[in-house]
Amino acid sequence: MRARGFHGFAHPFDRLLLMLSLPFLDAPPRFLFFTGKGGVGKTSLACATAVHLVGQGKRVLLTSTDPASNVGQVFNATVGNVVTPVPGIPGLDALEIDPQQAADAYRAAIIDPVRDLLPAAEISAMTEQLSGACTTEIASFNEFTSLLDDETATAAYDHILFDTAPTGHTVRLLQLPGEWTTYLSDGKGDVSCLGPVAGLDRLRHDYAGALAALTDPTRTRLVLVTRPQRSSIREAARTFDELRELGMTNAHLVVNGVMPQYAAADAADDVLVDAVTGREREALDAIPADLAVLPRTTIPLLAFNTVGVPSLRALLDPDATPAAPASDEIASLPDGLTSLRDLVDDLEADGHGLVMCMGKGGVGKTTVAAAVALELASRGHEVLLTTTDPAAHLSETLQAEVEHLTVERIDPEQAIIEYRERVMAGKGNALDDAGRAVLAEDLKSPCTDEVAVFQQFSHVVFRARKQFVVLDTAPTGHTLLLLDATGSYHREITRQMSEGARFVTPLMRLQDQSQTKVVIVTLPETTPVLEAQELQDDLARAGITPWAWVVNASLTASAPTSSFLRARAHAEADPLARVNELCRRVAVMPLLAREPVGTAALSELTRPAMEGTLTDAH
C-alpha cells in the first residue's frame, strides 16, 4: 500500500504510519475533552475526531470554550454561540462559546437583580470584582454545564466533544465551600472569589452533576494532546497531575505532529529534518512515567494545514491524504520584519526598563527572554532575568553564570505561603475564630494564589526603574486578567492587608512604554497567532500596548531544502502576514537545527546579520 506524499508524488510511508492506530478512539465514552498547550493541534484533532465519528454513523456535537477558537475556520464555516450544523457533514453540529460574552451574561445575572437596590458605588465595585479570571472561567463552564448534566438537552447526540477541558483552576472553584455564602450574608467578611461563588451557589446542584460527569471514567475521557517537544510534554504532565487530583482519571495521550520518516527521502543535505527528528526522539524517550503508562496515539506531521474536511480526514487516516501544493518554490518572509538583535538595539536605547515576554506556553518565551537578557548583559548593562512561570527553567537554558546577569525566580509556592501568613497576621487578627477559619479557607482559593504571585511581580516592576529587568511570564490567562482588573487587585490588597500597610500597584508603569516593553512571543501557526491576538486584546483593555512581537521557530526563516519542510514553510504565509498586520515591530526567529540552550547558542540568536544569514547561523 502506498500513500500520496507531501507534494503530490507517491512516497512509501513508514510501517508505523501505514498501520496508524487510534487508541484514544477505542470504545470512546460520550464525553471527550481535548486539552493541551496552544499550537499542539488540539482543535484540529477535536475537529478530525468529530469527522471520524460522524463517518461511523454517530451524531456528534463539537463544543469549543477556547477564547481563540478557530473551529469555524477549520471547517470553512461560520460557527458561533449557538448550536450550528456544520455544512457538508450531516450528523455534526458545532458550538463556539464566547468566554467574554458568557462573562457579560454571568455578570448581568448576578448584578441586575440588585442594581436598583444598592448604591451606585457598590454596583461599580461588584462589576469590577466580577471582571477577573475567576468569573470568566466559571461563566464559560456555566455555559456548557447543561451539556454534561442535562441528558434531555443532549439526547440527540452520541458523543459530545469539547475543545479545551476545564482547567484545574475552574474545577477547584466549583468545589469552593458553600458556607461562604452564609458567612457573607451575616456581614462577617468577604472572600476573594465573591463574584463567582455568588453565582455558583444558585446552581450548586447542577454543578455537582457536571462534576460527577467529569470524574466518571465511563462517561468522560480526557485526551491530552502534545507535540513531541519537552516543554509541551511537561505541560501535558502538569495538566494531567492537576486534573487527576481532582478526579479526572480516564486519560489518553496523543502525540501530534511527529516528523514522518519519509520526510527525509529528498531532504538532500538539509540537517533540519534529522535534527528535529532527533530532538523529538529524545523528548519522547524522556516522557514522564505518569504519561508513559497512558494509552498513546502517535499522529504524524502533515505537509499542509488541517483546514477543510479532506485535510481533517487525512489527520487520522493516511489513505485519505490529499496532495499538498508543490513545494519547489521557496517561501519568503513578508517585508518589514526584523531580527531579534534589532529589537535589542531599540531596547538598549532607554538604558533601563522592564521587558515582559508574554505568550502561551510552548512558544519560546523562555528562549527569547534569555537571549535578550544575555545580549543586554554582554553589552555591559546590569540585567535581572526572572520568571513567574513555575515550569520555566532559566538556569537550564543559560547553563552558565554570566557577568552583569542575575537570574532569579518568583517562586509561586513561596509567594503564596508568605502572602497567606501576612494576611492572617494582619486582617486575621481582627477576626474571631470562626472568621479566621473562613479567611484561611479563602486564602486557599486559586484567586488569592494569583494575587500573591502578582504582588511579588509588582516588586519586580519597581526594580526596573534603575536597571534592565527581563521577565518570562507564566503561560496563564489568569495573571493577565489580573492586569486587566488592577483596580480589583488594588482593592483586594487593601481589603486583605492590615490598616496602614503600604503597597504598589504597577499598572501605570506597565502602560508606559518608556518603562515597560511588552513583547508577545508566538509561533507561525494559526492557533498560536489567534491566541496571541487574544492576549493583545486583553492587554488593550488594561491600557497596555505591546511594544513588539517575536515569531519563533519559523521554517520560512530557516529556508529548508527538504521538499516536505518547504511545503510546511508555505503554510506559514497567512499567520506571518497576520502578525505583520497586528504589530508594527515584528522579529522572526528561525526553527533551529540545534536547541538554543547554553550561552553560545543563545548568543547566535542576536548575532549581527552581517555574520551570517538566518539559515547558516544555525
Per the residue annotation, which of 36, 38, 39, 195 is the catalytic one? 39
Other residues' Cβ atoms within 10 Å of the Cβ of residue 156 = 9
Ramachandran region, residue 264 (left: φ > 0; alpha: ψ -120 to 50; beta: rest): alpha
Residue 331 domain flag: no
Per the residue annotation, which of 181, 527, 558, 563 is the catalytic one? 527
Asked if 44 is an active-site residue, the reply is: yes
CATH number, position 83: 3.40.50.300
Per the residue annotation, which of 5, 66, 131, 556 is the catalytic one? 66
73 and 126 inside one domain: yes
194 and 282 inside one domain: yes
Q: 257 near 228, Cβ under 8 Å?
A: yes
Asked if 527 is an active-site residue, the reply is: yes
Asked if 380 is an active-site residue, the reply is: no
pLDDT score of 605: 87
Residues 220-261 have pLDDT tens digits of: 999 999 999 887 898 889 889 888 887 889 999 999 999 887
Residue 333 domain flag: no
Per the residue annotation, which of 5, 36, 43, 442 is the catalytic one? 43
Residue 421 domain flag: yes
460 and 564 inside one domain: yes
Asked if 43 is an active-site residue, the reply is: yes
pLDDT score of 170: 53
pLDDT score of 445: 64
Residue 369: which of 469, 252, 238, 239 has the closest Cα? 469
Residue in the block written with cell 484561611: 440
pLDDT score of 132: 62
Residue in the block written with cell 516543554: 231
Which residue range is the domain that position 83 belongs to? Answer: 3-320
Residue 353 burial (C-beta neighbours within 10 Å; 0-12, 13-18, 19+): buried
pLDDT score of 322: 59
- Residue where one domain finishes, among candidates 273, 289, 320: 320
Per the residue annotation, which of 38, 41, 91, 195 is the catalytic one? 41
Asked if 500 is an active-site residue, the reply is: no
The residue type at 585: R
Residue 334 domain flag: no
521 and 565 inside one domain: yes
pLDDT score of 449: 65
Query: Which phi and psi (to 5°) does residue 10 adopt?
Result: -75, 130
Per the residue annotation, which of 37, 42, 427, 517 is the catalytic one? 42
Tell me the C-alpha distance between 2 and 34, whole Å: 31
Identify the segments of the chain with pLDDT beneath 50: 1-18, 173-174, 176-196, 326-327, 475-479, 481-482, 484-487, 490, 504, 610-618
Number of domains in the chain: 2
CA 246 to chain centre: 20
Residue 80 domain flag: yes
120 and 204 inside one domain: yes
pLDDT score of 180: 38
Q: 246 near 215, Cβ under 8 Å?
A: yes
Asked if 41 is an active-site residue, the reply is: yes
Calculate the alpha carbon distances from 455 to 392, 414, 463 in Å: 19, 12, 13
Residue 507 domain flag: no
Q: 455 near 493, Cβ under 8 Å?
A: yes
359 and 246 inside one domain: no
Residue 330 domain flag: no
Asked if 39 is an active-site residue, the reply is: yes
Contacts of range 411-415, beta carbons closer than 8 Å, 24 or more positions apart: 412/388, 412/449, 412/452, 412/453, 412/474, 415/452, 415/453, 415/455, 415/456
Per the residue annotation, which of 44, 131, 226, 488 is the catalytic one? 44
Residue in the block written with cell 513561596: 414
Residue 349 domain flag: yes
